Amino acid sequence: MNPATLEARQQAVYHQLRRVMDPELGMSIVKLGLVYDIDVQQGAAVVTMTLTTPGCPLEDAITQGVERVVGELPWVERVDVKLVWHPPWHPGMIR
Amino acid sequence: MPPLVLPAQHFAAALVWLALGAAGLIIIAPDLARGAFLTPRVIAVTHCFTLGWITTSIFGALYQLYPVALGVPARSIRVAHVTFWALLSGTALLVVGSWLWSPAALAAGWLVMFGAVGGQSWNVVAGRRRATRGKTIGLYVSAGHMGLGLAMFVVAVRIGAAFDWWSVDRLGVLSAHAHLAVVGFATLTVVGVGSKLFPMFLLSRGYPEWPLRWIGPLIFGGLVLFTPGELMHVRWLVVGGGGAMALGVVLYLALVSRYVRTKTKATLEPALAHGILALAFLAVALMLGVTVLLRPWSARVITAYAAAGILGWLSILIVGMYYKIVPFLTWLHWFSPKVGQPGLPKVADLVWTRAIWATLALLGAGIATLLMGVLLGSGNAATAGAAAYAAGVGLVVAQYVRLAAHRPAQP
């Protein structure tokens, strides 16, 4: 995959992720700074992200939402969501 | 996470108790204005709030909070349901037994309640030892449950006296029981749970953690001195213990003011405004408590002190927390499979914000008027305050009835 296509696909994933809102805070997971990294490989998109707190009750809803919206992209065959807790999220990460 | 029905049944029962307590408050308001806090119906209504509203809410919320904050779910959902019914029936027996002054009903209620507290402690609170995080919250909740257990043992002495098995100093026992329950159990639990929820909801950052290492020991250590002091009439223990508790509360107020000053959320939501109002009443209760400590036999000040602590501080705080927790659980139930779809409501959209501000005004004005009525000895003012408080409670309950009865619009 050439760098331009890679960049375009990463931006497309970010664009989709802006639809995934934290219903409590009323902000997208991108604006909240929860998305740490996006890796695009052929038909796979790997989203490395965190949540506002470990054990967050929204964990299943948000990870399934991420899988759903990213999976809507025509070139995506598989979505992997990697939840990480380091660095821990704090309000200063809000963009 | 527990099944939704578990916290939901606790919250529904607690709201019924809150409504009953608010209605009863109108009836007992003239008694309160006379400083007659030992009458059976005052004790009955007080327990509608302390056991029915506050304790039932705390028990329900812990089922939801422990998996999140400590990483440990309840050991058994079946035991949790049994515990709920024991809590509900124990509270009913104690409230009815107090109102009718039936020692047999009080003793039965005490026994059932003992089972409920034991069940909750085994099922949830003991999970602290398996916790992977949230050690501070676990310590505060465990200390709070120790306070609740001690409060129950102390009041058992009073119930025994009602059977004429022995005689006790009613005021000393009442004071020890009330402080163990309201300060030891409810306030310590709220401080611990609030140490996570307040900063999380306010998006606070950069606040100090060290006050939490002092608040709990000051309050619990104060109770360890205060309780035998009240039971055995040792003045220096009462003053020393009361002073330590007061210092702990001052430190807590300072800590929460830091949460607010370091918040990064632009606006203050009405739910959190309930929390701020509750803290203002905690400050009022603190001042009245210090007055009671210095002049122990002022019955109307004692009554106002208890009302500020139970109706102003704890009850309003829990009303505010409900506005965060119940719509959130409702949202999870209806919308969690639809995250990412356009047009999805926010949690705050599920309740009517203006009504929440209205409950804040009614509860705040109601309790302030009630306190003035009690302090000035005006039955009419106390009744007017109780009526405004009850109207606020009615609005709170109406919101949740509407939320439960109407399926939200789907995107």
Q: For residue range A28-87, what is the model confidence (pLDDT) as tens digits?
A: 999 999 999 999 988 899 999 999 888 788 888 999 999 999 999 999 999 999 999 989
Is any Cβ of chain B less than 8 angstroms from the Cβ of A25?
yes
What pLDDT score does B146 carry? 94
Split at pLDDT 50, 70, 90, the class of B96 is very high
CB A54 to CB B133 under 8 A?
yes
Exposed/middle/buried for residue B151 (C-beta within 10 Å: 0-12, 13-18, 19+):
buried
Contacts of B341 in chain A (CB under 8 A): 19
pTM: 0.92
| Angle, alpha carbons B407-B270-B182 (nearest 5°) | 100
pLDDT tens digits along B344-392: 888 888 888 899 999 999 999 999 999 999 999 999 999 999 999 999 9
Task: Confirm if B12 and B88 have CB atoms less than 8 A apart.
Answer: no
CB B339 to CB A64 under 8 A?
yes
Contacts of A56 in chain B (CB under 8 A): 68
Task: Confirm if A53 and A88 have CB atoms less than 8 A apart.
Answer: no
CB B332 to CB A26 under 8 A?
no
What pLDDT score does A38 carry? 93
Which ipTM was obtained for this model?
Answer: 0.85
Terminal CA-to-CA distance of chain B, rounded, Å?
25
Task: Confirm if A47 and A17 have CB atoms less than 8 A apart.
Answer: yes
Q: Tell me whether the omega of the peptide bond preceding residue A87 falls within 30 degrees of 0, making it cis.
A: yes
Tell me the shortest Cα–Cα distance from A38 to chain B, in angstroms.
Answer: 18
What pLDDT score does B246 carry? 97
What pLDDT score does B296 carry? 64
**Integer Cα distance of B225 and B232 in angstroms:** 11
Over 90: is that where the pLDDT of A1 sits? no
B30 forms beta bridges with none
Q: Which of A14, A18, A24 best probes binding to B when mutated, by most B CB atoms within 10 angstroms?
A: A24
Over 80: is that where the pLDDT of B102 sits? yes
Q: How far is CA B162 from CA B157, B227, B231, B388, in A?
A: 9, 21, 17, 35
**Higher pLDDT, residue B366 or A22:** B366
Q: Which of B339, B347, B349, B350 best probes binding to A when mutated, by most A CB atoms within 10 angstroms?
A: B339
Over 90: is that where the pLDDT of B170 sits? no
Over 80: is that where the pLDDT of B106 sits? yes
**Chain A / chain B CB contacts < 8 angstroms:** 66
Is any Cβ of chain B less than 8 angstroms from the Cβ of A1?
no
Tell me the shortest Cα–Cα distance from A90 to chain B, in angstroms.
Answer: 7
Task: Confirm if B94 and B46 have CB atoms less than 8 A apart.
Answer: no
Over 90: is that where the pLDDT of B161 sits? no
The pairing of strands A21-22 and A44-49 is unpaired
Is any Cβ of chain B less than 8 angstroms from the Cβ of A84?
no
Contacts of A21 in chain B (CB under 8 A): 339, 344, 346
Is any Cβ of chain B less than 8 angstroms from the Cβ of A53?
yes
Over 70: is that where the pLDDT of A22 sits? yes
Split at pLDDT 50, 70, 90, the class of B209 is confident
What is the H or E stretch that residue B109 is in?
helix B103-123
Tell me the shortest Cα–Cα distance from A3 to chain B, in angstroms.
Answer: 28
- In the block, which residue shows the tokens 């302090």? B375
Q: Which amino acid, residue B277? A: L
Q: How would DSSP label each residue in B309-368?
A: IIIIIIIHHHHHHHHHHHHHHHHHHHHGGGTT-TTPPPGGGGS-HHHHHHHHHHHHHHHH
| Angle, alpha carbons B23-B368-B148 (nearest 5°) | 65
Contacts of B328 in chain A (CB under 8 A): 23-24, 57
Q: Which of B67, B205, B340 sits opposite A65 (nearest CB)?
A: B340
What pLDDT score does B411 carry? 66
A86 forms beta bridges with none
What pLDDT score does B184 carry? 96
pLDDT tens digits along B24-72: 999 999 999 999 999 999 999 999 999 999 999 999 999 988 888 888 8
Split at pLDDT 50, 70, 90, the class of B258 is very high
pLDDT tens digits along B319-352: 999 999 999 998 988 888 888 888 888 888 888 8
Over 90: is that where the pLDDT of B3 sits? no
